[in-house]
Structure formats: structure tokens, C-alpha cells
Amino acid sequence: MHIELALMSERGGRDYNEDACGHWHSERYLCCVLADGAGGHGGGDVASKLAVSHVLQGYANAPAHHPQALEALLMDTNREVLAHRADNPALRNMHSTVVVLSIDLQERHALWGHCGDSRFYAFRDGRLAERTRDHSLVQSLIDAGLLDEAGARVHPKRSELYSALGTEGSDLQISVSQTPFPLFGREALMLCTDGLWEWVPDDEIAAALAAAHEPQAWLNDLEQRVRRAAAGSPKHDNFTALALWLGPD
């Protein structure tokens, strides 16, 4: 199985970028992770980088390619964020979303987990096959039939999360795929922050994919779509994406 990987992380209209992303691989496993931090006093930047580094280090020490193991890794990352908040009063409000993709290159299947509203998308043969559901107020309204996807993008409380790393006790919500997603070498996968998907609906993400000749071109197209859509919002959020294209050997 051949894999091409591309990254894109932009400051948008903000003074600095609080998103972070990274990846790690061995001969058998590949782990990709992306995080979107918040919290004031530089806390968002700290939280997102901490989440990414802790996930990658933990995965490298013991590849978490099992639903329970992936959930445990994300829970341990949450404890790490909470510990750093306790150590530094200036960071007491920091938190971060996170989304993680794990691929078993030998068995050719994927698992993913997330907390918050950073998303994972899986396209197969150009069509959307999987997408995570946000831990957010607007997602709960969508689930209840009170809001549609278009309305969610302009809802005044669209950034209100029900869970993120840095959450204590039973309020923490982590979602992990429970069954392996088979990879046939016809997939395009993407992790992204809300600064991207808020401005680019799923059908436009698919259209950009259809027009692209390689993953970096896909992300470049998405970057331009964000900039055009957000042109009237000069303070729009950071936006980050990590894309993988899978093909036959």
C-alpha cells in the first residue's frame, strides 16, 4: 500500500497559531494526530503541542491500534494536560481538541479517536465514507433535529464544546471507532480543525478532492476555499489539516 502525506497549518486572522499536528510511523504502524488549543496566556499553543507530543510519544512506546488502547492513550493525554494546568497558574484554563488516526500497515485497516470538534474524514473512491461527530452544542442540536449542517456553521454558539482535553472527571467525552476500517488503497483521509470545516462544507471538501492530483494540491485548494469564504471575517480562526492518500502498491 502506497501512502502520500501532506500538511497545512495557517494562522488565519489570528495573532498566532494555536493548532498543532504531527505523525509517527514504524514498519507496521502509522499514527497521525492533530490538536486545536485554547486557554489564554499562550495556553492554547501549549495545550495543542502537549497533546500532539504526548500522543505520538505514547503511541511510539506502545502502538495503540485497538479501540481500548487508543481510548486509554487519549485519556492519559488528558491527564497530562490537567497536570500541566495544575503546575502553572497561567495555564489553568488551557484545553485542546484532539483527533488521532492509527493505521496498521500490515493488516491494512484504520482506527481513529477524537475529543472535541477537530474532525477525521475518510473518502473512498471520492465519496465520503466516514466522518467523526463533534462533541459540541451544535452537534447535539443537529442530533435532536433542531439544526442542520448549514445552520450549525453560523450558529452563535458553534464553538461551544461539550468536551476537550483538559476536562476533569465524568465530563470528559472521548469517541473511538470500535471496528477496523478496511483500507483497499482507494482512500483519501484527512484530519482537520474546525477552522477549516467551519468554512468548507463536506461537499466542497469532496469537490476539492476530485479536482486534486495529489494530497498537497487537495490541501492547497481547501486553503483557498477557506480564505475566500472567510474574507468577510478578518479574525477567523487558525486552520490546519493533515491529509493522506492511499493507493495500491
Over residues 193-218, the pLDDT tens digits come to 999 999 999 999 999 999 999 999 99
Q: What is the pLDDT of residue 229?
A: 95
Tens digit of pLDDT for each residue in 25-64? 999 999 999 999 998 667 899 999 999 999 999 999 999 9
d(CA 209, CA 219): 9
Instruction: Indicate whether 167 pLDDT > 90.
Output: yes
How far apart CA 241 and CA 12 sit, in angstroms, is 13
Q: CA-to-CA distance for 123 and 188, rounded, in angstroms? A: 5
Range in 146-160, 177-191, 211-225 the model is least confident about: 146-160
CA distance to 2, 28, 99, 130, per residue, from 119 (Å): 23, 24, 6, 10
Question: What does the alpha-carbon distance between residue 200 and residue 197 come to, in Å, rounded to a whole number?
Answer: 5
What pLDDT is stored for residue 23 in this prediction? 98
Ranges of each domain in the chain: 17-198
Q: What's the pLDDT band for 90 if we cut at 50, 70, 90?
A: confident
Parallel, antiparallel or unpaired: strands 119-124 and 127-131: antiparallel
Predicted pLDDT of residue 151: 81
Q: How far apart are the C-alpha atoms of 187 and 3, rounded to whole Å?
A: 10
Strands of the sheet with 127-131, listed across from one edge: 2-10, 239-247, 187-192, 119-124, 127-131
- Residues 8 and 218 sit within 8 Å (Cβ to Cβ): no
Residue 75, pLDDT > 90, answer yes
Cβ atoms 45, 9 nearer than 8 A: no
Cα dist. 146→8, 95, 137, 247 in Å?
A: 34, 28, 11, 40
Residues paired with 187 in a beta bridge: 124
Q: How far apart are CA 67 and CA 64, in angstroms?
A: 8
Looking at the chain, the whole-number percentage of residues with pLDDT higher than 70 is: 99
Whether 137 and 162 have beta carbons less than 8 Å apart is answered as yes
Asked whether the predicted pLDDT for residue 221 surpasses 90, the reply is yes
How far apart CA 208 and CA 206 sit, in angstroms, is: 5
Q: Is the pLDDT of residue 147 over 70?
A: yes
- Mean pLDDT, rounded, for 152-164: 85
Report yes or no on whether pTM surpasses 0.85: yes
Average pLDDT of the chain to the nearest whole number? 94
Mean pLDDT calculated for residue range 181-198: 96
Determine the average pLDDT of the residues in 208-234. 96
**Residue 6 — pLDDT band, cuts 50, 70, 90?**
very high
Q: What is the pLDDT of residue 198?
A: 93
Cα torsion 224, 230, 234, 238: sign = negative
User: CATH fold of 17-198, please?
Assistant: Phosphatase 2c; domain 1 (3.60.40)
Tell me the β-bridge partners of 2: 247
Instruction: Give, in order, the Cα–Cα distances in Å from 86 to each of 55, 83, 113, 238.
Output: 20, 5, 25, 26
pLDDT at res. 41: 66
Give the pLDDT score at 158: 80
Place of cell 458553534: 158
